[in-house]
Homo-oligomer: A and B are copies of this chain.
């Protein structure tokens, strides 16, 4: 399993996603609640999300689907995935496997990021429109990692307060 965790981090980097880019999203989601929030805390939370089995498998599966679509090897469903068709819905569902295990704060933040597409998410979506590039699954996965990390911070902070 250690192996898959490392692999999923490597694949994210290969596909142009840096943990620092996700950390900015997490920071922006949580800064209004914690005056003293540091970017390092956001990176720490992202790493905890990436350590989850659910995350590793969702990242690796989603990226393979994007790559397969770039290679036109998905037969009848290739166009739907490559064009990021708005009613496809399987990209969001795959991302939910990460979001679900992080509770309801992760879920509402996921919807917010998916709709407003700040920072790296918007960039991934734009790049995905270029010829030969498909980010249909990747942008939702990044939304899921960021929103789950935000949820982690909210939960951990509350535990610190009450303990």
Contact = CB atoms under 8 A, between A and B. Distances in A.
Given A100-B101, A111-B109, A57 B80 contact: yes
B109 A115 contact: yes
Contact of A86 (B74, B105, B114): B105
A104 B92 contact: yes
Interface in A1-58: 1-2, 4, 7, 11, 53-54, 57-58
A115 to B, nearest CB: 4
A97 interface: yes
A105 B87 CA distance: 7
A61 interface: yes
Given A108-B114, A109-B115, 5 more contacts: A4-B80, A58-B93, A87-B154, A89-B104, A90-B94
